[in-house]
Amino acid sequence: MSEQPSRCGYVAIVGRPNVGKSTLLNHLLGQKLAITSRKPQTTRHNMLGIKTEGPDQIIFVDTPGLHPDQEKAINRYMNRAAASATRDVDLVVFVVERTRWSEGDQLVADQLRGIRCPLVIAVNKVDELRDRAELLPQLHALAQRYPKAEIVPVSALRNQNLDTLEQVILTHLPEGQHFFPDDQVTDRSSRFLAAEIVREKIMRQLGAEVPYQVTVEVEDFAQEGKVLHIRAAILVERAGQKRILIGNKGERIKQIGSRAREDMERLFDTKVMLNLWVKVKSGWSDNERALRSLGYRNE
């Protein structure tokens, strides 16, 4: 009996901000890799999530949401990152919401016009529908708009129908050798993942404006015996934001640090000593040079 041929391919996950792309990636991988929050623009970088099962290796590309605001350098960076992800992939998964088509969805659709690879549309958050019949007009409209696409209703958060989505994805993977070792789950460094975890906790803790003018820079990352020592600077643009982040008697920064450390210990499977502080770096989010020095590079 001949062995099953190995398959391997790149799959871009695209969609407007806050539609559930990173949540979908985490559940498809079966572990938390991409940070999530209820706020749009949580994801700022393209990141690979690699899933290997037997002869099959799917290399997911998680992308920032495309958005019309290109006022700041960081917004332009995120749009370039999202647009670049659909080049040279084997499949695009376009994530939309259950019953509505927005201006943000149209922006993504316009970017997808020139793609040469197959398209799968994942209609997300169907668990929030009281009556599945409410979904039918959206499914019909999508089928009219994309007659060649396969459409799969899912709930990323509740893990509903993701096995069907994965099977559809596998049918589009080309035969070939795996590009990554079977135990590798991402192309990103542990330092990058640590910085992202801290930023997630900030996104979840703070109000509307401050999180978008915050970034995290890991300055030290060293394993000493059984303890991983991480020192990270949280960069903000104004002194008032620094006060908000630190909180009354340092309570907020302690809470952010405590929750980030718990996630890091799970991810890195070791005890973590995390040291955070906040510093003001005026205008970093609208300065191309500062962005590059902070790791915002379009590869």
Residues at the annotated binding site for GTP? 15-22, 62-66, 124-127
Only one residue has tokens 């938390």, namely 32
Binding residues: 15-22, 62-66, 124-127
- Phi then psi for 230, rounded to 5 degrees? -125, 125
Please give the order of strands across the beta sheet that includes 227-236: 215-224, 227-236, 271-280
d(CA 268, CA 230): 12
d(CA 41, CA 65): 6
Reported as type and span, the H/E element at residue 12 is strand 7-14
Q: Output the CA angle 7-9-11, nearest 5 degrees.
A: 140
Q: How many CB atoms lie within 10 A of CB 81?
A: 22
